[in-house]
């Protein structure tokens, strides 16, 4: 996530324990610095943590899913994957040791379980297991039906592998493709035709999210029964080109580089557009297209919103040629 200089950090936390789970993933147990109880949360929630990547000179926020039981108020459990080519937040988190202090926001849930009892199909890829495992733990304790499908490159690269396997073959299936995509999840078999009271939850890298969404659409799953969370910020796609975006009401023309989002270009021009997730999942940043052809890359808007209402999510979507927005 980008720098948020005005964010408030109400939680003062201390690192109680760090444990390597794989060569790249480290578990951290966090407690309140004053020894008191921590705010409650629900399965799928995340914690925004204040990090100070080396060399940046400023604080930034990173979001990490909470894994432990929602009934446990004495600590928070998160797991962080070290991203060698990231902006430095994961390196900062991996360098923490017991006794180190952290500031954090209140737990927030943009990826909650459906409220009514239902059958949950849980799909995770790599470090995307963190919110999914929180859901599996809650559903297991609640006695609600679920199936977990969890993929990683190799067994050694799969955090929480033993815990997932301990759920039993009837409820958890693990996949290891060893770099060969054909060995991945058979999503068509996993999803199948929609059924009343059946919801799918998926978290992981963009290719997995795209594949699940595509399979769900092919089988005509209701959009409200498909829940997703993309791990990691969006990145430029191969072949992305600079684009020109005209903001009709503001009287501003933006020249947007291939590596920059339209949203960030608007912010850089001094505008104050509404936004939240920056991953195309919430739809808060949607703008109306007056002219031009958008390259839609969001998960939040329906086909009708794209084609009839002419809306686009400027945090992830781009333009094919010049675009004019009602902004």
Total tally of structural domains belonging to the chain: 3
Q: Classify residue 62 as exposed, middle or buried by CB count within 10 Å of its CB (0-12, 13-18, 19+).
A: buried
CATH assignment at residue 67: 2.40.30.10
User: Does residue 194 share a domain with residue 295?
Assistant: no
- In which element (H, E) is residue 187 found? helix 187-191
Strand partners, 306: none
The span from the CA of 31 to the CA of 11, in Å, is: 10
Q: Would you state the structure tokens that stand for residue 114, as one six-digit string?
A: 């459906």
44 Cβ neighbours under 8 A, 6+ residues apart: 65, 109, 110, 111, 112, 113, 131, 134, 135, 201, 229
**DSSP secondary structure, 264-310, as one string:** HHHHHTT-----S-SSSSS-TTEEEEEEEEEE---SSS-HHHHHTS-
User: Does residue 130 share a domain with residue 222?
Assistant: yes
User: Does residue 218 share a domain with residue 138?
Assistant: yes
The span from the CA of 271 to the CA of 265, in Å, is: 9
Query: pLDDT by residue (tens digit) across 254-311?
Result: 999 988 899 989 988 999 898 887 888 888 999 999 999 999 988 888 888 999 999 9
**Domain end call among 104, 132, 156:** 104
Query: pLDDT by residue (tens digit) across 217-263?
Result: 999 999 899 999 886 555 667 788 999 999 999 999 999 998 889 99
User: Does residue 199 share a domain with residue 260?
Assistant: no
User: Does residue 148 share a domain with residue 222?
Assistant: yes
User: Does residue 290 share a domain with residue 213?
Assistant: no
Quote the domain boundaries for residue 320.
243-325
Query: pLDDT by residue (tens digit) across 151-198?
Result: 999 999 999 999 999 999 999 999 999 988 778 899 999 999 999 999
CATH assignment at residue 249: 3.10.20.30
The answer as to whether 159 is a domain residue is yes
User: Does residue 141 share a domain with residue 95?
Assistant: no
The answer to whether 151 touches 208, Cβ cutoff 8 Å, is yes
The answer as to whether 195 is a domain residue is yes
User: Does residue 312 share a domain with residue 291?
Assistant: yes
The answer as to whether 55 is a domain residue is yes
The answer as to whether 1 is a domain residue is no
Q: Show the CA angle centred on residue 261, arms to residues 255 and 263, nearest 5°.
A: 90
The answer as to whether 2 is a domain residue is no
User: What would the 3-class secondary structure string for 88-127 be?
Assistant: CHHHHHHCCCCCCEEEECCCECCCCCCCCCCEEEEEEEHH
128 Cβ neighbours under 8 A, 6+ residues apart: 202, 203, 204, 205, 208, 229, 231
The answer as to whether 111 is a domain residue is no
**Domain end call among 207, 230, 253:** 230
Exposure of 208 in the CB half-sphere (CA atoms within 13 A):
28
Closest CA to 121 of 185, 40, 49, 33: 185
Q: What is the mean pLDDT of the segment spanning 55-73?
A: 77
The answer to whether 106 touches 95, Cβ cutoff 8 Å, is no
Task: Write the Ramachandran bin of 314: left for phi over 0, alpha for psi from -120 to 50, otherwise beta.
Answer: alpha
Confidence (pTM): 0.81
The answer as to whether 109 is a domain residue is no
Please report, for the chain, how many H helices and E strands are present, in that order.
7, 16
**Domain end call among 72, 104, 136:** 104
């Amino acid at each position: 996530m980008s720098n948020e200089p005005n964010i408030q950090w109400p939680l003062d936390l201390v690192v109680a324990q760090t444990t390597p789970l794989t060569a790249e993933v480290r578990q951290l147990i966090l407690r309140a610095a004053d020894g008191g109880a921590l705010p409650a949360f629900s399965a799928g929630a995340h914690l925004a943590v204040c990090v100070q990547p080396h060399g940046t000179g400023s604080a930034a926020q990173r979001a990490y899913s909470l894994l432990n039981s929602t009934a446990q108020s004495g600590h928070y459990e998160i797991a962080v994957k070290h991203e060698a080519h990231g902006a430095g937040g994961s390196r900062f988190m991996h360098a923490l040791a017991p006794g180190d202090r952290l500031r954090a926001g209140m737990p927030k849930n943009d990826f909650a379980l459906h409220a009514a009892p239902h059958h949950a199909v849980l799909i995770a890829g790599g470090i995307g297991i963190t919110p999914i495992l929180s859901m599996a733990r809650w559903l297991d304790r609640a006695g609600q039906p679920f199936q977990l499908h969890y993929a990683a490159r190799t067994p050694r690269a799969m955090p929480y592998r033993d815990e997932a396997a301990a759920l039993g073959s009837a409820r958890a299936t693990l996949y290891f493709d060893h770099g060969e995509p054909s060995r991945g999840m058979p999503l068509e078999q996993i999803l199948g035709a929609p059924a009343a009271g059946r919801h799918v939850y998926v978290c992981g890298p963009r290719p997995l999210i795209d594949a699940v969404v595509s399979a769900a659409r092919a089988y005509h799953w209701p959009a409200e029964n498909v829940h997703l969370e993309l791990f990691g910020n969006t990145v430029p796609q191969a072949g992305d080109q600079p684009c020109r975006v005209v903001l009709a009401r503001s009287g501003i023309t933006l020249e947007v580089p291939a590596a920059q989002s339209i949203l960030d270009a608007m912010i850089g021009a001094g505008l104050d557009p509404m936004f939240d997730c920056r991953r195309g999942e919430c739809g808060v940043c949607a703008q109306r297209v007056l002219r031009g052809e958008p390259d839609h890359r969001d998960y939040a808007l329906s086909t009708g919103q794209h084609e009839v209402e002419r809306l686009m999510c400027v945090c992830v979507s781009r333009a094919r040629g010049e675009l004019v927005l009602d902004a």
